[in-house]
Structure 1
Amino acid sequence: MGATAGAVWGRTEQQDYRSRVRGTLLGVAVGDALGTPVNGLGIDAIREAHGAEGLVDLAPAYGRRGAVTHITQLTLFSVDGLIRAHVRRDTGAWHPPTDVHRAYLRWAATQRDWGPDERRKDDGWLAREEWLYARRDPHQSLLLGLGDEIMGTPDTPKNPGEAGPEAATRSAPFGLLVGWEPQLVAQLAVECAAQTHGHPAASLAAGAYAVIVHALALGESLDGAVQRAFAMLAARPGHQPVSDALQHALGAVRQGMPGPERVTELCGAGTAESLVGAAVYCALVAADVRHGLCLAVNHDGPSAATGALTGGLLGALHGETALPPAWLAELEGRPTVLELADDFAMEMTQGPALHGPGGSSPGWLARYPRA
């Protein structure tokens, strides 16, 4: 698996890119946090608990406002794995799915252990963040798929029948590889999805979502980004459920005022392709980020996953400054998200200066070990 040659980044381009990286990762996290308190509730129960408009602000979950789930945790480890892959490329070792899988295994350790193990020197800094050592209702498919060191692949996937959204919800970072061609971004997302979700529609939904984020991070419109996903999907066997879900989302935009009933219908049975479609719909009809996220969590479907997927799209589209500051202020792990986002942007734009033939930064290699 390869990538296109890196572009020469001017200061303005670097600043725009960093804002979109920050926006994407913060958007995933804040959408996750907004939806978590009502996850699993129907719209009637949500209105009973939060009023006629439903949930319109952060609410307590896991003992605090702004708490995130395994969705945000795994998204961060996706970023960590991608940085490590690019750092290791200097050694001649270049297989990003393996590096992402190792990162997911480090996440799996946070679900088993009480805290960081200082003896694991090659874990890097993210795995030493104590707040991540919290089990936030991870789906069984994640624990089973990452329960041993065998890596699932598209040919021999883990959990072959698993069609849920958990792989798609951690796939926004693949779309931030703006130096890659869309087909390579999709392939990487599909390969990494197969590590826990073997159903073809679940893997292709992750690929489609990553391609949409990729186009948004490059400055395209959301409509244009979805068309990119259609083009990618058309060449892949088994794409019809994912293509149909996206087409359904586009059609719903023209069917009157957005509301919970429309989002519930798009979410369907809660499969990966349905939730990606619902997220695309929420982002397309959003008057602003707050409106889009509230629409994404107030319905009968999985609120945290739909909120996270929608947040990733809106963050990539508009950048970090469009996200509601009051929600970001209370977001669990925000310093970690920002630090990781900035590291990712720096690696993707200035990696050779950090670890190249002309020299390397010992501090960087301590944060992202090559081992």
Structure 2
Amino acid sequence: MGATAGAVWGRSEQQDFRSRVRGTLLGSAVGDALGAPVDGLTLDEIRAAYGADGLVDLGPGFGRRGAVTHLTQLALFTVDGLIRAQVRRDIGAWHPPTDLHRAYLRWAATQRDWGPDERRKEDGWLAREEWLYARREPTRALLMGFGDDRMGTLESPKNPNEPGPEATARSAPFGLLVGWEPQLVVQLAVECAAQTHGHPTGFLAAGAYAVVVHALARGEGLDGAVQRALALLSARPGHQIVSDGLQHALGAVRQGMPSPGRVEELVGDGTADGVLAAAVYCALVGADVRHGLILAVNQGGPSAATAALTGGLLGALHGETALPPAWLAELEGRPTVLELSDDFAMEMTQGPALHGPAGASPGWLARYPRGR
């Protein structure tokens, strides 16, 4: 597995890229936090709790406003794994799925341990962030998938009957590999999704989402990005359910005013194909980021996952400045998300200067060790 190398970044290009990286990760986290308090409630239950308009602002969840779930935790460890993969490439250890699996095992440790082990310097800085040790209702598929050291692969996936949306919700960072060819982005995303979600719907939705984010991060429009995903999916066995969902989302845009009923229809039974379709729809029809996210959460399916995917799309499309400032101000872990976003942008634009053969930054290698 390889990537396009040697690109020269101008200053304005670096700034635009950093804004899209921040937008993607913050947008996904804000969507997750917005949807968390109503996740799994019916629309009637949401309206009974929050009024006729449903949830229109951050609500209390896990003891505070703006709290995120395991979806955001895992997305952050995806970023950490991608940076570590790039750093390890210098020593000839180039197998990103393995580096991502190690990152996800570090997340799994946060779900078992009381707090970070300061003696484990090889874990890097993210695994020492105490707020990430909160257990936020991780699904059985995630705990089983990362419950031992065996890495699921496409040939031998973990949880082969699991079509849920959790792997898709951690896959936006793959789309931020803007120097990679789209087909490689899809391949990495599906390989990493198969570590917990071995049903084709589960891992192909992750690949489709990643490549849509990839096109957006490179400056394309959302409709064209979805068309690109459909073209790349068409060659993969078992793609029809995910492809049909995306086609349904595009068609729903032309069927009148947006409504919770239309979102619920797209979400269906809450599997990855439906959640992805609903997120694409909400991102396409939302008048702005706030409207798109509110539309994504006020429905009877997995509100946190749907809004997390929607927020990632809109953040990649518009950059961080389009996100609602009041929601960002209350977002749990916002300093960590920003720090990790900027590290990712720096690695992808200036990596050789940080750890290449000509020299290395000890500080960078302490943050992202070349070991496990």
Q: What is the TM-score when the length of structure 1 is the normalising length? A: 1.00
Deviation at 1:121, TM superposition (A): 1.5
1:225 aligned partner: 225
Equivalent positions of 1:1-371 (< 5 A) are: 1-371=1-371
RMSD over aligned Cα, in angstroms?
A: 0.5
Indicate if the aligned counterparts of 1:6 and 1:179 stay in contact, CA closer than 8 A: no
Query: Which stretches of structure 1, 4 residues or more, deviate above 4 A after TM superposition?
Result: none
Letter in 2 for 1:218: R
Q: What is the TM-score when the length of structure 2 is the normalising length? A: 0.99
Indicate if the aligned counterparts of 1:28 and 1:310 stay in contact, CA closer than 8 A: yes
Q: Distance in 2 between matches of 1:158 and 1:310?
A: 26
Unmatched 5+ stretches in structure 1: none
Deviation at 1:201, TM superposition (A): 1.2
Letter in 2 for 1:254: R
Q: Distance in 2 between matches of 1:160 and 1:338?
A: 35
Q: Distance in 2 between matches of 1:6 and 1:214?
A: 19
Cα deviation 1:29-62 (Å, max 9, x = unaligned): 0000000011111111111111111100000000
Deviation at 1:7, TM superposition (A): 1.4
Indicate if the aligned counterparts of 1:293 and 1:310 stay in contact, CA closer than 8 A: yes
Q: Distance in 2 between matches of 1:302 and 1:203?
A: 18
Q: Secondary structure at the match of 2:149?
A: coil
Cα deviation 1:94-132 (Å, max 9, x = unaligned): 000000000000000000000001221100000000000
Deviation at 1:142, TM superposition (A): 0.2
Q: Distance in 2 between matches of 1:230 and 1:212?
A: 9
Letter in 2 for 1:195: Q
Deviation at 1:6, TM superposition (A): 3.6
Indicate if the aligned counterparts of 1:81 and 1:100 stay in contact, CA closer than 8 A: yes
Q: Secondary structure at the match of 2:90?
A: helix
Deviation at 1:357, TM superposition (A): 1.6
Deviation at 1:235, TM superposition (A): 1.1
Q: Secondary structure at the match of 2:162?
A: coil
Q: Distance in 2 between matches of 1:234 and 1:5?
A: 27
Cα deviation 1:267-298 (Å, max 9, x = unaligned): 00101011001000000001000000000000
Cα deviation 1:242-273 (Å, max 9, x = unaligned): 10000000011011100100000000010101
Unmatched 5+ stretches in structure 2: none
Letter in 2 for 1:298: N
Q: Distance in 2 between matches of 1:49 and 1:160?
A: 37
Identity of aligned residues (%): 82
